[in-house]
Amino acid sequence: MNVFLRPNLARCLWVAPLTALIVMCLTLALRHLFGMTPIFDSEQMITVGYLGGVIGFLIGIGAFDTWFPWMLGAAERPDDHSAHGARSWRDYFRFNTDHMVIGVQYIATTLILFLVAGMFAEIFRAELAHPGQDFITTSAYNGLMSQHGIIMLLGFLIPIFAGIGNFVIPLMLGAPDMAFPRLNALSFWLLPLAGLIFLSAFLVGSFESGWTAYPPFSTRGPMGETIFELGVQIGGASSIATAVNFLVTIITMRAPGMTLFRMPLLVWANLATSALVVAATPFIAGSQFMNMFDRVIGTPFFEPDLGGNTLAYQHVFWFYSHPAVYIMVLPGFGIISEVISVMARKPIFGYRAIAFSSAGIAILGFSVWAHHMFASGMEPWLRVPMMITTMLIAIPTGIKIFSWLGTLWQGVLQMTTAMLFATGFIFTFVIGGVTGIWLASVPFTYHVHDTYFVVAHFHYVLFGGSVMTVFAGLYFWYPKVFGRHMSESLGRLHFWSTFIFTNLTFFPMHWLGLEGMPRRVADYDPSYANWNLFISISAFCLGAGMLLFVYNLLHSARHGKPSGSNPFGAMTLEWLVSSPPPIFNFDVPPRIVGGPYGYGIEGARHAMFPEPAPAETREQAHA
Amino acid sequence: MSAHAEHDHHGPAEYTYQPHPFGLGAVPLGLVIFLASEIALFGSFFLYYAHSRTILEYEWPQPGFHIPADATSINTAILVASSFTCEMVLLAIAKARRSAAIAWMVLTILLGSVFLGLQAIEYQTIGFLPTTNAMGATFFSLTGLHGAHVFLGLLLLTFCLIRLVRGHFSKERMTGLVVIGIYWHFVDVVWVILFTVVYLLPTHVI
């Protein structure tokens, strides 16, 4: 069949524009029918055009090739699994239903978005190196800053954990794949679309309201705001679909004997995260729907003259976006638990405490949202309860930190790159956590609200926290994906440059914030100049360190040291199959006979395979 | 390993090693989890509504406007009835009465369509627009979001009707119907809540 007719990216090239065009014409026809003037409304056109394009892209890539015939009552076809597994690099650009391929697709896409958004940060740090307007306009600064925020959060941190989870979790559970492989592929392909949608906003004037998109900035801003709202919807849909998939997989597809308390802690973390995503993400969808209706239809949700209220937006938005910060870090906690236990050669300290603290964070996370609004003029009686719950949430987090330290205590530490990142994470995350407690207290927040202190705080928890865990996870599971190690010497260099320059970049921001330098500004008082120059130089070095990582990542896939199936002597299931794992993971379901962290315990076993040995079965099956 | 006679045979083969909560198959379980996120989506608009009415003490309905609870209560009855007829489809299939199942399904689709039609008439006669004020925006977005769900449900029911006519469902293979049934009941329950909150709670109650 012609390349433009088969389900692939080439088919997207014509189906997506065509669908967009059809939907736009339909909208024009409807406006004409209802006698609306003028017939052409650019905000509406861009909205329906993008949505049509997204649907067309999904049709083109082949997301609905099975579902459409089913809907229309075609006879059921047994799945031939032809869309499963990757035989060449081309298979990574298809609608692939294999959880390992999707995991790699996720990680590659998110890392590209990470580099793009990091680049934006370097550009506006260059602008901020010196007071006064140097080479980008304030509008361009706002655009870059907003893109940096939303792409890092929705395009990198949330989905990369979905990517790592996608690769690892079915293996850890002893399952052949995720529960809904087609839904899994669909939710992946929404992600590059969300990234492209955000970036395309530059064509019409990027959104400039930060990643929070508070009205009236968002309702009265340039057309990029509408595109921002669409991107959030697409990215949110992707993350909800993945979360549903993870939950069903974890609940129903654990191998025989895998009780809840024999699950690795990454699975626990993902369980809590997925529950959070399902319950919280629709609130950002709702808040962006309201924003979009205000812009596209002209509803007065946030127009005070007509009874609207902008604080309502902040309530709805933060009802998602505070739980979202736990969505961005809980899977990272899971990764750290895995890495630390394996590398310290000790059973994890306080397994159940860590597992329940994830659940505790997920539940408490819903009761703290208004701490973002202490200075907003919100109802005063909400402040103190929110302050108390916010401080309470430090307890489950502290339990985790102490459990990790307890695991490290008297362990036989193997300081691999993954372990360096894990220990570095504990250091930086604690700093971010402590400033979090400060910010939770109302009087202190009044002083530093919307200053660089807040920027320092959340970069310590998100960059020093989540991104470090991402690196720990990538270095740790890289041998499982490619069967080769990443270079340890480059990895160490990458770690030390990241660790040092993270602190040099973000720590001085605390002082700037305490002195009152506001965030989200393209220019500042010359008295802040010295530290800003210092921060910018550190930020450039931090960015340069990332190039090492990219080189290491790409180069080691071909030329890395072969690792064998279980280089770190780990016990969890993913290490008991070959590297890279065979298609469908296990030919016979493994039997789980003990906890996942029995390191250093005589005779401890997590899993065993019923005879014959899995390697032989695999050869027979795929001969 | 749990025995699941009623697996969905359209999707990929299901590997289930663990007993399912409430005896739900993987697909219904996934749907129930998804519906939890739908509750949150409606919840975000309810949150806006609740914020307006409690903290801002926003008058509902706004002076000079009327939200017709009486007429819409008939519509509510129609939608609730469609939930029962939808359940009758499942019962009929379980007793292997295909023509009865088709009749109940057609009736369900008809009731759902009548609901949407009456809703459209209400939109035209209600006397305010989404752009009129915050009440209009909240009213139309809540009822509109629900209407979109009813519309999607009608599409799904139609797909099921096609398969029903072709005889694809049997007592052993009715996951598709079970899933649509759960979804349709959900849409119904959301409407009952929505009707109570938006139509029946006048200003002096809160």
Residue-wise pLDDT for A372-404, tens only, equals 999 888 888 989 999 999 999 999 999 999 999
User: What does the pLDDT read at residue B11?
Assistant: 34
Cα A566 versus chain centre, distance:
27
Pick from B14, B15, B183 the residue to mutate for testing the A interface (most A CBs within 10 Å): B15
Nearest residue of B to residue A81 by CA position?
Answer: B12
Do A500 and A109 contact (CB within 8 A), yes or no? no
Distance CA(A284)–CA(A196), nearest Å, equals: 19
Interface contact B1-A256, CB threshold 8 A = yes
- Write the Ramachandran bin of B14: left for phi over 0, alpha for psi from -120 to 50, otherwise beta: beta
pLDDT at A159 over 70: yes
80-99 of B, contacting A, C-beta below 8 A: none
| C-beta of residue B8 within 8 angstroms of C-beta of residue B14 | yes
In a mutational test of the A interface, the residue from B32, B44, B177, B203 whose CB has the highest number of chain A CBs within 10 Å is: B44
Check pLDDT > 60 for residue A613: no
pLDDT at A77 over 60: yes
Task: Give the per-residue pLDDT at A35.
Answer: 84
The alpha carbon of residue B106 is apart from the nearest alpha carbon of chain A, in Å, by 16
Q: Give A286 to chain B, closest Cα distance, Å.
A: 5
- For the segment A268-309, what is each residue's pLDDT rounded down to a tens digit? 999 999 999 999 999 999 999 999 999 999 999 999 999 999
Q: With CB atoms and an 8 Å threshold, state whether B168 touches A280.
A: no
**pLDDT of A509:** 96
Q: Which residues are within 8 A (CB) of B195 and not within 5 positions of it... i.e. 6 or more apart?
A: B69, B72, B73, B76
Least confident of A241-245, A322-326, B104-108, B153-157: A322-326
Mean pLDDT of A408-427: 95
Is there a contact between B44 and A312 if contact means CB atoms under 8 Å apart? Answer: no
The pLDDT value recorded for residue A38 is: 84
Residue of A178, A299, A309, A583 to mutate, testing the B interface (most B Cβ within 10 Å of its Cβ):
A299
> Does the distance separating the beta carbons of A180 and B40 come in below 8 Å?
no
| Mean of pLDDT over chain A | 92
A301 touches chain B (CB under 8 A): yes
Is pLDDT of B196 > 50? yes
CB A279 to CB B29 under 8 A?
A: no
Domain boundaries, chain A: 9-66, 97-559
- B1 pLDDT more than 70: no
Q: Is A85 on the interface with B (CB under 8 A)?
A: no
Q: Binning pLDDT at 50, 70 and 90, where does residue A484 land?
A: very high
* Percentage of residues in chain A having pLDDT higher than 90: 79
Quick check: B166 contacting A, CB < 8 Å? yes
Of A589, A623, A594, A583, the closest CA to residue A609 belongs to A589
Tokens (6 digits) for B111: 């009731």
Residue with tokens 């529950």: A275
For A128, counting Cβ atoms within 10 Å of its Cβ (0-12 exposed, 13-18 middle, 19+ buried), the class is buried
At residue B149, does pLDDT exceed 60? yes
Q: Is B37 on the interface with A (CB under 8 A)?
A: yes
Once rounded to an integer, what is the mean pLDDT over residues A464-474? Answer: 96
Rounded Cα distance, A455 and A367, in Å: 22
The helix/strand/coil state of A484 is strand
CA-based nearest residue to B83, from B8, B148, B153, B24: B153
Rounded CA separation B61/B76 (Å): 19
Q: Residue B158, class by beta-carbon neighbours within 10 Å (0-12 exposed, 13-18 middle, 19+ buried)?
A: middle
Whether A252 sits inside 8 A of B26 (CB atoms) is yes
CA dist B31 and B25 (Å) reads 10
Q: Does B58 touch chain A (CB under 8 A)?
A: yes
Residue B163 confidence (pLDDT) above 70: yes
ipTM confidence score:
0.91
pLDDT at residue A515 is higher than 50: yes
Predicted pLDDT at A473: 96
* Partner A contacted by B20 (CB < 8 A): yes
B134: nearest CB among A71, A281, A301: A301
Q: Which of A213-222, A337-346, B78-87 has the lowest mean pLDDT?
A: A213-222
Q: Do A252 and B17 touch (CB under 8 A)?
A: yes
Regarding the domain delimited by A97-559, which CATH topology (the fold level of the hierarchy) does it fall under?
Answer: Cytochrome C Oxidase; Chain A (1.20.210)
Answer yes or no: is pLDDT of A617 > 60. no
A 236-295 near B (Cβ less than 8 A): 240, 243-245, 247-248, 251-256, 258, 278-283, 285-287, 289-290, 293
Residues of A in contact with B56 (CB under 8 A): 309
Contact A215/B at CB under 8 A: no
CA B163, CA A29: separation in Å to the nearest integer? Answer: 33
What would the two tokens of residue B18 be?
A: 């663990």
* Structure confidence at residue B203 (pLDDT): 60
Sign of the C-alpha dihedral computed for residues A179, A180, A184 and A185 taken in this order: positive
CA distance A342 to A355: 17
- Average pLDDT of the residues in A183-188: 95
The helix (run of H) or strand (run of E) holding residue A182 is helix A181-204
- pLDDT grade for B7, boundaries at 50, 70 and 90: very low
Report the topology of domain B21-205: Four Helix Bundle (Hemerythrin (Met), subunit A) (1.20.120)
Find the helix packing angle between A468-482 and A330-344, rounded to 10°. Answer: 60
Q: Does B35 touch chain A (CB under 8 A)?
A: no
Spatial CA neighbour of A185 closest among A118, A245, A124, A251: A245
pLDDT band at A144 (very low <50, low <70, confident <90, very high): very high
- Domain spans, chain B: 21-205
Residue B114, φ and ψ in degrees, nearest 5: -60, -40
B131 to chain A, any CB pair closer than 8 A? The answer is: yes
- Concatenated DSSP letters for A434-448? HHHHHHHSHHHHHHH
Is A176 within 8 Å of chain B by CB? yes
Contact B158, A68 (CB under 8 A): no
Interface with chain A: mutation pick from B17, B39, B156, highest number of A CBs within 10 Å: B17
pLDDT at position A5 is 85
Q: What is the mean pLDDT of residues A449-454?
A: 95
